Amino acid sequence: MARWSTRDEKVLIELMAEQIKKGRTTTIFSKVGWAEIKKEFLKRIRNDYTNLQFKNKFNKLRTVCKDSKALLTQIE
């Protein structure tokens, strides 16, 4: 099981946002997109997670985002 620090998560989110700004139009990243994310992540963090660990973290972050939006909707 991978242990992601807050810094690791922040950098991953920044890199995913950069991919979105490049014009990603689907709900998932392509192999090329993941390769670019992983390459830049390794440059910045020097912690080499596997492709599966990146994808699992992405799915977990997506779930947290979805749940947070649902909670905020209930508050309004």
Measured CA angle at 63 (ends 18, 40), to 5 deg: 25
pTM listed for this prediction: 0.82
Instruction: List CB contacts of 61: < 8 A, sequence separation 6 or more.
Output: 9, 12, 13
Other CB atoms within 10 A of residue 49 CB: 19
Give the start-to-end residue ranges of the domains of the chain: 6-75
pLDDT for residue 64: 92
Task: State pLDDT tens for residues 16-58.
Answer: 999 888 876 666 788 888 899 999 999 999 888 998 998 899 9
pLDDT for residue 76: 67
